[in-house]
Amino acid sequence: MDVKNTASALGEAIGKIIENELESTLRPICEKFGYIYDRGGERPGKRKGIKLSMVNRSGISYQLDAVIETPGEVPIVLIESKYLRYKKHNRDKASWTCASHYRLRKTYPSIRKSIAVLSGNWSEPSKRFMESFGIELYEISFHEMCSILGEFKIQFDWDEKDKKTPDLSWSRFKQFTDAEKKEIGRRLIAPIREVIVSSVKLTLQGGEDWIKRLSEIEVLLQTERNEFFNYTFKTTQEAIKFLVDLQMDVPDLRDRLKR
């Protein structure tokens, strides 16, 4: 089938190849430890459609790329794979990922980790922004993508106004066999495969003893006037003392909320 925008079609196809390889890499790890790697598709008893989505406590639905969950459908790890050719879209994509993962983690406290696999052109401010929301990042740079695809005779770097090069590259890509596409995915994921497998394995192996690994405690207070107060503590003792102090019957708590 002909496509109108071959540049977009090729980018989407390469993004799908990366998602496929991530699934091939992580699904066996999940199954080994008794977890499910859900990437969407029809699941009798859970969903009829193909889209994987989760709903937060406000009723807002977020479509996700993959979720690692228990056999009882309790979410443990959120996984996103995001490809960008142009940095001008960084802020929108980064903001969506941060907002969706943050809201879902507030709704589902069982979620232990958020992971984003970034491919293409991502700016340092956007990456730092996502990391500030507790999202673990793995990157496949645009340079690496161009280099690997170039070995398969696909030119992936072109000017935004160039229409001829993406047409030729898309035409070349359509001739690839499934085995060749699989090899492209394997090559693209190779630099991050070991570290992402290690991270997921440690998370799933950790089970419910995460309380022993606490490094920071965040307390978010919300008033009936929709005011928010955010505090962080290094130990559970500090957090408990702070909350206990708030319960003391005093006429003015403003000094208590200054830290």
**So what's the pLDDT on residue 88?**
76
- Residue 96, SS3 per DSSP: helix
pTM to 2 decimal places: 0.83
Question: Domain ranges in the chain?
Answer: 6-210, 214-246
Distance CA 249, CA 212 (A): 33
**So what's the pLDDT on residue 117?**
97
E-only strand ranges, 188-246 = 217-222, 228-233
> Do residues 119 and 139 touch, judged by C-beta distance below 8 A?
yes
CATH among 3.30.870.10, 3.20.20.10, 2.60.40.650, 3.40.1350.10 for 6-210: 3.40.1350.10
Q: pLDDT tens digits, the chain, 259 residues: what are they?
A: 577 889 999 999 999 999 999 999 999 999 999 999 999 877 766 767 678 888 888 888 999 999 999 999 899 999 999 999 887 778 888 898 999 999 999 899 999 999 999 999 999 999 999 999 999 999 999 999 999 999 999 999 998 888 899 999 999 999 999 999 999 999 999 999 999 999 999 999 876 666 777 778 888 888 787 777 888 888 888 888 888 877 765 555 555 555 5
Burial of 163 from C-beta contacts in 10 A (0-12 / 13-18 / 19+): exposed
- Helix, strand, coil in percent for the chain, rounding step 5: 45, 20, 35
Name the CA radius of gyration of the chain, rounded: 22
**So what's the pLDDT on residue 253?**
55
Strand pairing of 61-63 and 66-69?
Answer: unpaired
